[in-house]
Amino acid sequence: MRLELADFPVKEARFGEKTAYSGGRLEIHKEELLELVRKDGRIAFADLDLAFPGEKTRIVNGRDAVEPRVKVSGPGGVFPGIIGPVETVGEGRTHRLSGTAVIASADYAPTVFSGTGAKNSALLDMWGEGAKRTPLSRTINLVLILRLAEGVSEWEAHATIQEAEFKVAVRLAEATRELVPPKLEVMELKPVDPALPRVLYIVGCITEAATPHSSTALYGLPIKDSMPTFMHPNEFFDGAVTTDARRGYGSAIYTWMWMNHPLILGLYEEHGKRLNFLGVIFQRTRFETELGKQVTAAMTSQMARLLGAQGAIFTRMTESGNNLMDVMLTVQACERKGIRAVFVTPEYSGNDGTEPPMAFATPEATGMVSTGSSQQAIRVERPDKVIGVEKGQGVQLLTGDPLLSPWGELVLEQGRYLFGWPDWFGYLNFTGREY
């Protein structure tokens, strides 16, 4: 599979009279984009705003983020199964507006009031301590502000927010369709020197069987109960992996992160140099019985062995001990089958860093990479501008919580209310050290 990723980097963006890209400058026709979104009767209000790296802007009600991309040749389209037919993607040519993101800032009346199925949101600061904890403070962000109509179900809320966000993102990228890209990357897992070590990436995904959306979807289908699935890394670049667009608090993974996954890109970079990148195992985790945990560990490690892996990199994507157990047992099962394992994960060592960092560990998990502690409280300064609510209004981070004023300085316990924190995939520069 060969995918050309044509890169149109964005250095400047402003609203203007047409949507166009030229020499690093993106002009955005606001009304045209809003029209796309307002056609949906489930959307009661929509607006757009821009946020730039370094300015004292706080985006609230953040639910999901996506990079503007469009398929210009080859099978299928971006976000297959959601805004186009289900067709295996990852081939042909895809245009991207790098250095930008569309952020969905949305609100609606919830029908699930507590638990993991309730909606939630996060704060995205473009400057200061908050900005250090998310890759989405380094991008020029087009914020899509939505209020949904009364009476939408939780699933409809997800689908409405996601569809609006993706349509806007694709329309932006459409501006590059006829242009010659400044940079073109060819993503292809070519045959390499057979002496290089064969390495897999195994992503232990949180999926919840009992919630309106299980939190991670393949080709638009939320994965509720499945055994591991083998995927080509190019499928990620075309938006085949997406998330629950109702739930934006820190420990969520956003669609943008799946499309710009640092470990997938890093393994690609080393393919043919230091290693032979075999592909990605998408592992459903959070099995609710010990039998389920043992079965997923056995099946995933067996898939890795059958694929000829000698090494595997693991990540997880929730602070849940339940997800951690499944990944740890899979690390153990791989090591026992002779596959060397490295587990990249944030840790939970309490506000002062002295508590045990993991709820569960297997003795085989000797190759661990820490991406920092997510339990430290974080103080964020007062912003000059807030995007997503009217002047003086409060926001709700978790359904059922009291309203929080985003207009002043805040101390965020555990910091997980920040959009993109903790760092599940290693996209930031934090680590934890013993001293």
Partner 1 sequence: MAYITTMTMLAEQWGANRIVTGAGIPRPCGDPNLNPEGDRVLRREIVGCALKALQTEVSGPTVFVPDVKFAS
Site residues (CB under 8 A) for partner 1? 210, 288-291, 321-322, 325, 359-361
Nearest distance, CB of residue 427 and partner 1, angstroms? 29
Radius of gyration of the chain from its Cα atoms, rounded to whole angstroms? 21
Q: CB neighbours (10 Å) of residue 391?
A: 6
Rounded Cα–Cα distance for residues 155 and 289 (Å): 27
Spatial contact of 282 and 231, defined as CB atoms under 8 Å apart: yes
Nearest distance, CB of residue 215 and partner 1, angstroms? 16
Q: Burial code of 338-365, b = ≥16 C-beta within 10 A, e = fewer?
A: ebbbbbbbbbbbeeeeeeebeeebbebb
Which is nearer to partner 1, 44 or 210 (by Cβ)?
A: 210
Q: CA angle 244-248-252, nearest 5°? A: 75
Nearest distance, CB of residue 234 and partner 1, angstroms? 35
Nearest distance, CB of residue 416 and partner 1, angstroms? 21
Nearest distance, CB of residue 12 and partner 1, angstroms? 50
The position carrying tokens 């003086």 is 392
Which is nearer to partner 1, 232 or 293 (by Cβ)?
A: 293
Q: CA angle 67-68-70, nearest 5°? A: 125
Which is nearer to partner 1, 140 or 329 (by Cβ)?
A: 329
Rounded Cα–Cα distance for residues 216 and 204 (Å): 11
Residue 265's DSSP bridge partners are none
Nearest distance, CB of residue 178 and partner 1, angstroms? 53
Burial degree of 108 (CB within 10 A; 0-12, 13-18, 19+): buried
Structure tokens at 225: 């109960």
Nearest distance, CB of residue 356 and partner 1, angstroms? 9
Nearest distance, CB of residue 289 and partner 1, angstroms? 5
Which is nearer to partner 1, 1 or 358 (by Cβ)?
A: 358
Cβ neighbours for 338, distance < 8 A, ≥ 6 positions apart: 305, 310
Which is nearer to partner 1, 167 or 293 (by Cβ)?
A: 293
Nearest distance, CB of residue 287 and partner 1, angstroms? 9
DSSP codes, 346-386: EE---TTS-S-S-S---TT---EEEEEES-S-EEEPPPSEE
Rounded Cα–Cα distance for residues 421 and 226 (Å): 27
Structure tokens at 360: 């569960």
Nearest distance, CB of residue 247 and partner 1, angstroms? 19
Please confirm whether the linkage preceding 422 is cis (ω < 30° from 0).
Answer: yes
Beta-strand relationship, 92-96 and 20-22: unpaired
